[in-house]
A and B are shown apart, each in its own frame.
Chain A
């Protein structure tokens, strides 16, 4: 049990995908204008990541490893992610029209979120088992959500700040991201999986 907790916490804080590994920077910078939109984005990413992990694990263990086809790994991973995103989109469209309208364009963009592919590659690299993979995928998604929501909160406040002209726009966003990365370095001392 404690092992699962360790994987979960370290995926959220210690090895945060955005602030430790520089992954998923594009949505982190692009979709962090307001808190609600970024929360929706984070939820969608968490959902896809949680479901990608077991599917990738099953395919890797029972097809790629058994028939010795490791070179097909990237192609299968990306197909799994793309079809899962498509599935999620169709499901949400059919069942909850409001959620579909809020997420809008972010849903198809999740396919090219490098954090998801990285989590799929990482769980194979680490040799996690099925339950560990699911927990790792879920924790990574929560970590992404945490980072992007904090960023959106700061950027909402920045709207009212007097930023010097050359720093306006993306430059100040990157500076904020750097300071957040510095802050998250504080978690590096914690035990991690």
Chain B
């Protein structure tokens, strides 16, 4: 039974409640740092780590926080883990840390993480569903960010010289990526939508 719930939560996070494509949460890093697949992946992993750790901590101490200041307490916990991630990246992967720049500290205010704490972790005991939630949610997050990265990737193969995982300039190509990406996975009628987007 427990296994079943875990799998159900996984699939929900991956497809039905995909944070980026379905719920439109955490759009800022999705648009800003996916100019190369490697940045998308590292940002996804960083966010996933923060999401998982804060989920566990908040779920354990969920009865300690007074209701009025819960948001502030959550945010401070998130900020602590973001500092850990930031220092880790600065120490071990300075080039990635430099490329992502201020978007790493901005994980603190990623509405996806706060929404997840508010809706899930602060109401569930840690042993039953929370690790599953955090864990699988992060995979879905990674998938969507990889997805974004790949979309840009394909555009570059077409229009510019081919440099996978290389550094390239940031183009405000929201038209290019976000809208087709989203409408592809958003609407029920995928095929028809794909035709609309790609002619």
Name A's B-contacting residues (CB within 8 A). Answer: 19-26, 29-30, 71-75, 78-79, 82-83, 86, 108, 111-114, 116-118, 121-122, 125, 164-167, 169-172, 174-175, 177-179, 181-182, 185
Among A29, A108, A174, the most chain B Cβ lie within 10 Å of the Cβ of A174
Asked whether A71 lies within 8 Å of B83 as measured between CB atoms, the reply is: yes
Q: List 27 A-B contacts (CB under 8 A).
A: A19-B172, A20-B172, A21-B32, A22-B27, A25-B28, A26-B28, A29-B27, A75-B76, A78-B76, A78-B79, A78-B108, A78-B109, A111-B75, A111-B109, A112-B111, A165-B187, A166-B187, A166-B196, A166-B197, A167-B179, A167-B196, A170-B24, A174-B179, A175-B179, A178-B178, A181-B172, A181-B174
Asked whether B175 lies within 8 Å of A22 as measured between CB atoms, the reply is: no
In the complex, which of the residues A121, A165, A179 contacts B175, with contact meaning CB atoms closer than 8 Å? A179
In the complex, how many residues of chain B place their beta carbon closer than 8 angstroms to a beta carbon of chain A?
A: 41
Closest 9 CB pairs of A and B: A178-B175, A178-B174, A22-B32, A166-B193, A25-B27, A181-B172, A171-B183, A22-B31, A114-B109
Q: How far is the CB of B53 from chain A (nearest CB, A)?
A: 15
The reply on B66 being an interface residue by CB < 8 A is: no
Q: Which residues of A contact B95 (CB under 8 A)?
A: none
In the complex, which of the residues B27, B175, B187 contacts A26, with contact meaning CB atoms closer than 8 Å? B27
